[in-house]
Structure 1
Amino acid sequence: MKFKPYAKSLAVAVSLAVMAGCSSSGGTQDGSMDGATAGGQGQGGVTTGQGLGGQANGSQMGADQLAGVPDVRTIYFDYDKDTIRPEFESVLNEHAAYLRNHSNAQIVLQGHADERGTREYNLGLGERRAQSVERYLSVQGVSSSQVDVVSYGEERPAVQGHSEQSYAKNRRVVIAY
């Protein structure tokens, strides 16, 4: 069977489109698309180091805007739970105070899970964890317009491995300014 010239061109175009759709634009494990790490120095300011929503869309905050942001930005969770552990309430209270005093500040709550469970379940669990932090901040007086929620499920582990120590580090919500 002979292909007509336009059929060959169409086959080549479809192949290229499929290959382009499968390619990745890269990025780093912390969500940065510019290669800078979270809190790292970018061109002309400190990058947010995140890839989605609000301030976390690759925009930059000046160093003076990050002054006073609490250092601890990761909240850890128990296995298969979305409840905030008591030892992290003081951390969230610090973030809430900062956000109330800086009404132009934006955060993205990035929910994560360990690798156990299905991909869909872990995406849901990561979202529930991030929403739990969002509710806590809301009760503390943080405006919902300052907060975005995203779930990465098991897709961006903080630590590689199949031990309980690895799993514990991957069950988290990261607060990204």
Structure 2
Amino acid sequence: MLAFTGCAKQGLVKNDQPIAPAAVVTPDAKSAKADAANAQNRAAITPENIVVSQPAVVPVAGEGQKGANGDAVGAANLQHGLSSIYFGFDSASLDQQARQKLTEDLEVLKHNSQKKVRIEGYCDERGSDEYNLALGERRAQAAAKYLAALGVSSKQLTTISYGNEKPADPGHDEAAWSKNRRDEFVLVP
């Protein structure tokens, strides 16, 4: 199941068009003409006019510097530029939001291709230890395979599963469990 965010009434913006606020449509303002225009806009969607925002590139301070904290500063910036991703219950499938975050992380990883990153898979507390370790590994592998498909070198990535050993939230309800079903990205020294 895919989850979509955003407003369905907003149109797509081409690269050369300014972004304008969406107009508010009231029930009495609807007309056949507006419906026809919306149908025409939907028909005009092609891969060429879909705009995907590019993530901000996190500069790596200390790159090429020698010294006591030059590498530490660069590592901190790389670590800060990587996002955790989250999974559904008993799932290692990447949803649309996870794929979007991994795509944003792609730029950071490509600009720091000499740095190694460990993908850590985690689970909530439900399930046996053995099952959760296997599920955490499948989650980490799913992220690694997706990044490799986007062009990140497999030599740059390693995976490990911690199962339910290190919860992000120690609670015992769905709100806590949803925070614990995750992959985290850690810079390998």
Q: Report the TM-score, using the length of structure 2 for normalisation.
A: 0.59
Is 2:55 aligned against 1:45?
Answer: no
Q: How many residue pairs were aligned?
A: 120
2:174 is matched with which residue?
Answer: 164
Q: Which stretches of structure 1, 4 residues or more, deviate above 3 A after TM superposition?
A: 64-72
Distance 1:147 1:72, change over 3 A: closer
1:92 is matched with which residue?
Answer: 102
Code of the aligned partner of 2:181: R
Question: Do 1:69 and 1:98's aligned partners in 2 also have CA atoms closer than 8 Å?
Answer: no
Is 2:88 aligned against 1:113?
Answer: no
1:127 is matched with which residue?
Answer: 137
Partners of 1:122 and 1:69 lie apart in 2 by 25
CA RMSD of aligned residues (A): 1.8
1:63 is matched with which residue?
Answer: 73
- SS of the residue aligned with 2:121? strand
Q: Which consecutive unaligned segments of at least 5 residues does structure 2 have?
A: 1-67
- SS of the residue aligned with 1:142? coil
Partners of 1:65 and 1:137 lie apart in 2 by 20
Q: Report the TM-score, using the length of structure 1 for normalisation.
A: 0.62
Shift of 1:85: 1.4
- Which has the greater radius of gyration? 2
Partners of 1:45 and 1:84 lie apart in 2 by 36
Q: Give CA-to-partner distance per residue, 1:72-93, whole Å, 9 cap, x none.
A: 5210000000011101222111
Distance 1:97 1:127, change over 3 A: same
2:155 is matched with which residue?
Answer: 145
Shift of 1:64: 3.4
Q: Which consecutive unaligned segments of at least 5 residues does structure 1 have?
A: 1-43, 47-60
Code of the aligned partner of 1:141: G
Distance 1:80 1:130, change over 3 A: same
Partners of 2:185 and 2:92 lie apart in 1 by 15
